[in-house]
Amino acid sequence: MSPAIEELWRALGEHGAQPAVQAGGRTLTYAQLRDAVRQRMELLATLGARRVALALDNGLDWALWDLALLFSGRVCVPLPDFFSAAQQRHVLDSSGIDTLISAGPMPDRPAAPAERGAIAELAGACGFADGGDGIWQRRPASVPAVPTGTLKITYTSGTTGQPKGVCLDGEAQLAVARSLWQASSGCGVERHLCVLPLATLLENIAGIYAPLLAGACIELRPMAEIGLQGASGLDLMRFVGAIGASRPHSLILLPQLLLALVAAAERGLPLPDSLRFIAVGGGRVAPQLLQRADALGLPVFEGYGLSECASVVCLNTPSARRIGTVGRPLAHAQVRIARNGEVQVRGARMLGYLGEPPLQRGWLHTGDLGHFEDGFLVLHGRIKNQFITAFGRNVNPEWVEAELMQQSPVAQAWLHGEALARNVAVLAPRSPECSDAELDAVVAAVNARLPDYARAHHWLRADAPFSAANGLATPNGRLRRDALFEHYRAAIDARLATQHDEIRA
């Protein structure tokens, strides 16, 4: 084991009798957790597993298998259930998986018949044989080389093409976990509820490894109990109910989940007074939303990271917080701004992309634009998403989209303005009953806070939500901007032509 992995193993022993994990009505102490992990390490050795995919819902099994793979030096490949079947097959084949785990010898929640059927179909399509107890094995047609030290391959869905495999070692993952533990140490976090899928690197590292280093207790509930459905579905009442029943000290939320939580609290739905640290990341968060959270007394701290940097790079903390920024770099990371405004990172980072040459040491180019204010990082958006208006003004659409989406009537927003004199927004309302007048009021309110060049001068109502099913978003909700442009090009042209006619008249 590397020194960082040995540190985590020692932590499991040092916290001995303290509760470590609660799931499915079971509670394991740290000592019991270490024993259960050791049992799975022995089973992995018996199976001869080398590269293992986890096709599991959030639960005790996910955590135990992941830790067993980490401590035994085997490659773990989380298989997101929000990927399409074709993307899941791509993950299994491109990474050379020999063992697929969909349950375990001591499952905390038996898989539903529909889930078993989907896994059986996927396994059969990829040439796996059923070994029983939810374990499938095969001899892969090819086993691509990975950089030395690779222990996890996490796939990023991106916005075009097939998912890319990011190769990470244990040192990088646990360096981030250690920094997160240190950053939140003054908050007295003793109980963490995993809300995001554990196949998401952020929850895996910040929701499993960091709490274990800190001696905290992790609560794991299936996604259905949390209220998350697929890539973007949310049952608000179930979501709020799960948080209330758990009474956690910490949560990790995406911006849309924070918006839902804030909106629920503003409507009078009760939230537990136990919350001490709510981390939010994965997309731009409108400052107004953070101000609304502050008004409710919610301890929200925005951060920034990417899979290529083993998750979190910067984070606001109770001792250093500034709304409108993603915080200061964590202890393990160095961040600088290049001449073109790109954010570059050095410290914990990936070994390379699967199927590509290993990365050389040095600064990682993130593709994000930003600047520093008194040591706090302010993000502008992605370099590739920036557009230039007909008047030569650079606009980062994520900024405007975040402002629009933090308004209750708007579920999704896309802003287009490349080479245009006036920008056009396409809005997907949160409810079919939402009127055009409500959307118009939202756009007017947001525009009042924006400079003229960045405003949504025109808007269109989306004909359907942006989703992976219609090709307008990735499985994890990122906009496919080229696809959106092609889909709405005719409608945009018609809207602008109407405006030109009105001007001539």
Fold of 386-504: GMP Synthetase; Chain A, domain 3 (3.30.300)
* pLDDT, tens only, 300-317: 999 999 999 999 999 999
pTM, rounded to two decimals = 0.85
**Inter-helix orientation angle 3-14/30-47, to 10°:** 130
What percent of the chain clears pLDDT 70, i.e. is strictly above it? Answer: 94
The gap from C-alpha 259 to its chain's centroid, in whole angstroms, comes to 15
Percentages helix, strand, coil for the chain, rounded to the nearest 5? Answer: 35, 25, 40
Looking at residue 504, its pLDDT comes to 40
Percentage of the chain exceeding pLDDT 90: 77
β-pairing, 191-193 with 233-234? Answer: unpaired
Sequential DSSP letters for 252-276: EE-HHHHHHHHHHHHTT----TT--
Instruction: Centre a 10 Å sphere on the Cβ of residue 130 and count the other Cβ atoms it contains.
Output: 15
Q: Which residues contact 451 (CB under 8 A, 6 or more apart)?
A: none
User: Shortest CA distance to 184 belongs to which of 7, 19, 331, 37?
Assistant: 331
Cα–Cα distance between 98 and 6 in angstroms, integer?
26
Local confidence band at 115 (pLDDT 50, 70, 90 cut-offs): low
Count other C-beta atoms under 10 Å from residue 313's C-beta: 31
Q: How confident is the model at residue 282 (pLDDT cuts 50, 70, 90)?
A: confident
Average pLDDT over residues 328-343: 97
Res 300: pLDDT = 98
- Give the angle subtended at the CA of 27 by the CAs of 237 and 24, to the nearest 5°: 40
Q: Do 40 and 64 meet the contact criterion of CB atoms below 8 Å apart?
A: yes
Query: For the chain, which residues make up each domain, given as ranges?
Result: 3-137+151-308, 386-504
User: Which residues are within 8 A (CB) of 230 and not within 5 positions of it... i.e. 6 or more apart?
Assistant: 81, 82
Sheet (strand 99-101) strand order? 129-130, 135-137, 99-101, 51-54, 75-78, 152-156, 164-168, 352-353
Over residues 96-110, the mean pLDDT reads: 71
Q: Phi/psi zone of residue 385: left (φ > 0), alpha (ψ -120 to 50 degrees), beta? A: alpha
**What's residue 89's pLDDT?**
94
As assigned by CATH, the class of the 3-137+151-308 domain is alpha beta
* Distance (Å, whole) CA 500 – CA 295: 44
Query: What H or E segment, with its residue span, contains residue 388?
Result: strand 387-388
How confident is residue 109, by pLDDT bands cut at 50, 70 and 90? very low
Query: pLDDT by residue (tens digit) across 352-375?
Result: 999 998 888 899 999 999 999 999
| Residues β-bridged to residue 339 | none
Measure the CA angle with vertex 319, ends 318 and 321; round to 5°. Answer: 70
Residue 274 tokens, joined: 């136990």
Residue 142 CB coordination number (10 Å): 7
Per-residue pLDDT of 122-151, as tens digits, reads 999 999 999 999 999 999 988 999 999 999
Closest-CA residue to 378 (of 287, 487, 263, 253): 287
What ranges in 422-504 are assigned the alpha helix state H?
A: 436-447, 481-504
Q: Of 94, 96, 105, 91, which is closest to residue 55 (Cα–Cα)?
A: 91
Q: What are phi and psi of 194, to 5 degrees?
A: -80, 115
Give the lowest-confidence range in 56-60, 114-118, 191-195, 441-445.
114-118
Question: With 60 as the cut, is the pLDDT of residue 336 above it?
Answer: yes
The Cα–Cα gap between 298 and 278 comes to 8
